[in-house]
Amino acid sequence: MNLHKEGYRIIAWSFLIIMTFNYLLHQHVNIEWLKWSLTMISMILFMLIVYFFRFPERFAKTKPTEVIAPVDGKVVVIEEVFEPEYFKDKRLQISIFMSPLNVHATRYPVGGRVVYSKYYKGKHLVAWHPKSSELNERTTIVVDNPEVGPVMFRQIAGAVARRIENYSVVGKEVTQGADAGFIKFGSRVDVFLPLGTEVYVIIGDKTRGGETIIANCPKH
């Protein structure tokens, strides 16, 4: 199983802490059922931490105008909205909610040149809250694709998530499906596409980041 680089330090520290805990447990606790129960719980906890930071290889065969899901999760929003931060006009928004059990790596939905990348401090409303896209801690990234023009995606921290990693740098050329960052412990990603985009998913659909094709944009 491939692991995301954001997990290396956390996994190492977790392993050290759990091994120390189990050493002390077996040295000082004489109640057998309690000792082995706590050992089992600690090992399950460690396996869950490792599982959270998995980073599977994904490949999608796409047309030049197609957009892939940036994350694993469930489609919770498909609607036309006014986007006030960058475009300042109407866009088609597709939002994907991630549970703590989903892969939390973020991938570029399209390839092109990064023209905007900004971090905002904010609240930690539940990720499916209608205002989380505007009020929560978040990063906004815009990639200018040569076929469809600029495409925005927004990493949003949820009630549990407390850290967003964003690798996007303005001026950088990026590849569709490449590693764009990581959101730790439950969150959401919004994608903003041009009006007239053909949507391939519906509310409730499950997506696989870097693999599920979610839309086909008109050429600009």
- Catalytic residue ranges: 187
List Cβ neighbours of 68 (8 Å cut-off, separation of 6 or more): 60, 62, 107, 109, 110, 176, 177, 209, 210, 211, 212, 213, 214
Distance CA 12, CA 172 (A): 31
Give the pair of three-digit tokens for residue 102. 């989903």
Smallest CA-to-CA distance from 60 within 197, 217, 218, 209 is with 209
Per DSSP, the residues of 71-94 read SSEEEEEEEEEEETTTT-EEEEEE
